Structure 1
């Protein structure tokens, strides 16, 4: 009970502030609902609001991120998270910066389609999203399930494994009429729909609706507008579920609509190769050059995507793009950015920052694949050296700030 009251007071009195957890000592108690409540010592800072960047909630967003919004519990404190939520937050920051330097008649916007609980954490999550210029007009609230929580356990390299409260509100994202209208072929304003595989962790027979909602978006959005981020978090995935979402059905013949982009890391590349029965897989070897290009092209054909991106941690990333017109397919590599890693840093959200920069560069700014990959590796590398998933872009090293015109 004390934990609940403590969180209520902290969140209530922080309405005009942004919470910045500084403790490394987090106490937790488990209640009958399996909900984890946390007591932290926090420092309150005034939230950075933007007076020069306006959004129009009545118009369709340029990018819609779909999936989980939850709270990450890290050794350093509590952070708003969830892969699509992190992507949305980074995109909003990039859009804000571009609106100040580029000649946009209307500033690009990003919205999140998620489901929160009707609780204090849900209210606080929505408040923080709006402070970050992420639109919440497609956010739903579940009548029974609580806002999602994820306890992150870091290894010696700062890599995280997660324990989720289950079921959580984000498992109950439903296909509302306004969401269906947004993804219809008649909507030419929304250029990208971003989703990840984690949001489909529970099947419909378990009372969840997010899995079917993701598939509905995948198959009803215009061809070449859906970006899929593969996140294999055991035990919350099946090979059949991941491949079905990528392909738009049980096989590539089921759907004529291709993904705009499929993103995965080097370990997930190996897993999907095995699931697709690609006998020529080289495992962890040949993660560079022409051999990697062949592997990526082969997998892209199996999973029905126009582009495929493989991240390789500190070794950068590679991007394959299918042929267009008379041009052959292309392959691009970036060896990554060597940045100073702080003692209290973690890798949480680095892949999400990478994806946000890639989406902005490829689909909004219409830059070349090489430039897009450079920007993605830079932002991902910066976040990997920070604490939490969405550090302020303005605090990045000068080289990265110059790259993004911050």
Structure 2
């Protein structure tokens, strides 16, 4: 194990997104770790790749970005994860997430205990829990982690109500988009507005903070009993893949800095908008580019 102490641990899938023209690295935990690193925080990523060229390339890419790969496991029997993406006529993205993949078989390592004890935040999603092996390790990690951040990533058919409820029951900070909010809250009642939906989930699962991204309509941040909102920023959208992950990384970064919620929400909205204006989920950038985003606010 490296002697470094990491502020945030991201857990879960890392894979190649095979598009019609090219293949790009992806996975929400990887994206969040990338942006945290760009924001000067110290993330580590717990994941698993295959003993193949795709896995080696992912390790080299992340290492080249300055992100720790100390906790990348190598699977000698299962290939590195792949998702095939196609675009329907109405511009809807359709994902075929190949199963099994190496990240379905994350194993426990004794080093994880001190890693998690020393980190402030533990970030995970629902997709990695599609297989019992990685799901069990995820829950083992959550028993140790300090602040657990659940970034719901609903991908059919790899979720069901019982699984989401199990994860919500362990969650301190919940991040979801507006469609996910409506889906999950709709399991319990037909609420009048989004504030009621957020409040119902917070009370039902005893969640301290809930963050909801709403696309062009901005974002909500519920901290304890207080709601904060942001109208969002207008940019020319090149691709929405990764913008929510950048948003979450920015929120966590500001929480680490103990910034006021209004400041955190504004900063996250700017970074999310910037990434949406780029084709890549993990573009290269410096924070100075975000200073130009504010002039485009609605």
| TM-score bracket, shorter-length normalisation | over 0.9
Query: Per-residue deviation at 1:393?
Result: 2.0
Query: Per-residue deviation at 1:240?
Result: 0.5
Once the two structures are superposed, residues 49-107 of structure 1 have per-residue CA deviations (whole angstroms, 9 ceiling, x without a partner) of: xxxxxxx9412211110000111123452211100001001111111xxxxxxxxxxxx
Query: Per-residue deviation at 1:109?
Result: 1.2
Alpha carbons 1:160, 1:347 under 8 Å: kept: no
More helix by share: 2
Question: What is the TM-score of this pair, normalised by structure 1?
Answer: 0.69
Q: RMSD over aligned Cα, in angstroms?
A: 2.1
Tell me the SS of whatever aligns to 2:39: helix
Query: Per-residue deviation at 1:220?
Result: 2.5
The alpha-carbon distance between structure 1 residues 158 and 317, as it changes in their structure 2 partners (threshold 3 A), is farther
The alpha-carbon distance between structure 1 residues 402 and 294, as it changes in their structure 2 partners (threshold 3 A), is closer
Once the two structures are superposed, residues 173-222 of structure 1 have per-residue CA deviations (whole angstroms, 9 ceiling, x without a partner) of: 12211113323xxx3x31111101111112x2xxxx11111111223323
Tell me the SS of whatever aligns to 2:240: coil
The alpha-carbon distance between structure 1 residues 91 and 174, as it changes in their structure 2 partners (threshold 3 A), is same
Question: What is the TM-score of this pair, normalised by structure 2?
Answer: 0.92
Query: C-alpha separation between the residues in 1 aligned to 2:278 and 2:23?
Result: 15
Alpha carbons 1:394, 1:401 under 8 Å: kept: no
Query: Per-residue deviation at 1:131?
Result: 1.2
Tell me the SS of whatever aligns to 1:114: strand
1:226 paired residue number: 148
Alpha carbons 1:309, 1:318 under 8 Å: kept: yes
Alpha carbons 1:197, 1:230 under 8 Å: kept: yes
The alpha-carbon distance between structure 1 residues 115 and 398, as it changes in their structure 2 partners (threshold 3 A), is closer
The one of the two structures with greater contact order (alpha-carbon pairs below 8 A, sep at least 6) is 2
Query: C-alpha separation between the residues in 2 aligned to 1:74 and 1:383?
Result: 19
1:23 paired residue number: none
1:348 paired residue number: 241
Match of 1:215 among 131, 139, 143: 139
Match of 1:243 among 153, 156, 165: 165
Choose 1 or 2 for highest CA Rg.
1
In structure 2, list runs of 5 or more residues that go unmatched: none
2:18 paired residue number: 73
Residue 215 of structure 2 is aligned to residue 335 of structure 1: no
The alpha-carbon distance between structure 1 residues 331 and 141, as it changes in their structure 2 partners (threshold 3 A), is same
1:30 paired residue number: none
2:30 paired residue number: 85
Once the two structures are superposed, residues 290-328 of structure 1 have per-residue CA deviations (whole angstroms, 9 ceiling, x without a partner) of: xx3332122112223110011111111101011xxxxxx
Alpha carbons 1:158, 1:347 under 8 Å: kept: no
Query: C-alpha separation between the residues in 2 aligned to 1:140 and 1:372?
Result: 33
1:40 paired residue number: none
1:274 paired residue number: 186
Residue 57 of structure 2 is aligned to residue 165 of structure 1: no
1:297 paired residue number: 199
Tell me the SS of whatever aligns to 1:272: helix
5 Å-filtered alignment, 1:4-403, equals 57-95=2-40, 108-155=41-88, 160-183=93-116, 187=117, 189-202=118-131, 204=132, 209-222=133-146, 225-248=147-170, 259-275=171-187, 277=188, 279-282=189-192, 286=193, 292-322=194-224, 329-341=225-237, 345-362=238-255, 364-394=256-286, 397=289, 399-400=291-292
Query: C-alpha separation between the residues in 1 aligned to 2:266 and 2:94?
Result: 28
The alpha-carbon distance between structure 1 residues 261 and 400, as it changes in their structure 2 partners (threshold 3 A), is farther
Alpha carbons 2:6, 2:115 under 8 Å: kept: no
